[in-house]
Copies of this chain bind each other. A is one copy, B any other.
């Protein structure tokens, strides 16, 4: 039985109806607990498959993997084995989890191989080399342009010709669950004088990021046709932003301290293979793009995205419903553009989409857009209002794809904001 677009598979592991971690997903992550050192696991339902134990028990013996490749604090070395191998690893686990396969189901080591996700702490899935953030949602770029530049010419002249992006700070990317501290910094007060203090306009940005799975040499480029060979998988990405710090610092060299205090990601890396069945046509690009940005195939994905705010001691409210298919520039174009000048990429680089906004006001992927730079309060279910993110708030992002009864999701990235030090 194989995982084709028309087949719905089922597993001997219980997977509830709305679980993101179906047998069609099987994302990779790094986990640990008090007894277990950091290692690679695959999520299914409420469980984690400990690949290191599976390997010790001989389930990968015919694949001749490097010893201890799953006993690692990051996915980098495993990803570096190449897509042919990582696909085989994931397919092997999928096969072992199929409802009729007794090899693991009835194996004496099953109890050691499988643990409950609640018993594990998720760590950063990769050691990130370089991190890039794109700006690929037309709706987001238009909204920002309307607010801060010219409402009549919101998109800058280059925007439809190339996927605008910038280098971000890799060191401060943290996994879901790690709190973030409100940044302090320099802003301009209403009189125009620079002042120092905690940011008053702390914001989230709802994004997805891909993790590169293959390196290039300096001087080489990746075509749009080959780009997917270089993409291992995706995570949810909350690109925390301090709008007031950013507004004062960003001319002419771009965002710096307004972003570098932290970005949060979901810990389970959903592979490109798991998302394949959710591909949809990319938006029409007009004017026509230059040859190196043209695509033969689609590289857009129908992935539902949500952002929720949970004030301290209150329940959570959804404030945004968006979709990854809204992106004007797709991941193949982003990677082709990034490398067209010969810039080399390494396994474990992270490239985020930029805020993913749709056309409807409730699909805007940041408080900047939802509150229109603080002009309009966003009402939460509890009646509480928010213009930006307050101390004690928890921001939760979720993402999932669903088609023909098959669901593949990202889990969540959940981050509580602590007051400034």
Contacts and interface: CB of A to CB of B under 8 A. Distances in A.
B341 A245 contact: yes
Contact of A172 (B164, B257, B343): B343
A282 interface: no
A254 B105 CA distance: 54
A169 interface: yes
A362 interface: no
Interface residues of A, number: 60
Give the residue among A252, A254, A256, A344 with the most B Cβ atoms within 10 A: A252
Contact of A253 (B135, B221, B342): B135
Given A135-B253, A249-B164, A343 B219 contact: no
Given A181-B219, A184-B341, A421-B219, A166 B167 contact: yes
A115 to B, nearest CB: 28
A261 B174 CA distance: 27
Given A171-B345, A261-B343, A256 B218 contact: no
Contacts of A290: 186, 194-196
A391 B335 CA distance: 27
B167 A341 contact: no
A253 B220 CA distance: 24
B166 A254 contact: yes
A158 interface: yes
A125 interface: no
A161 interface: yes
Number of copies: 2
A130 B170 contact: yes
A345 B257 CA distance: 13
Contacts of A181: 218-219, 342
Nearest to A195: B290
A228 B349 CA distance: 30
A349 B170 CA distance: 11
A250 interface: yes
B254 A129 contact: no
A20 to B, nearest CB: 27
A253 B253 CA distance: 6
B337 A156 contact: no
A190 to B, nearest CB: 15
A162 interface: yes
Interface in A212-239: 218-221
A45 interface: no
8 contacts: A130-B169, A130-B171, A156-B252, A161-B186, A161-B194, A166-B166, A250-B253, A254-B255
Given A181-B218, A242-B341, 9 more contacts: A162-B248, A166-B166, A167-B167, A167-B256, A171-B344, A183-B342, A220-B421, A252-B254, A261-B341
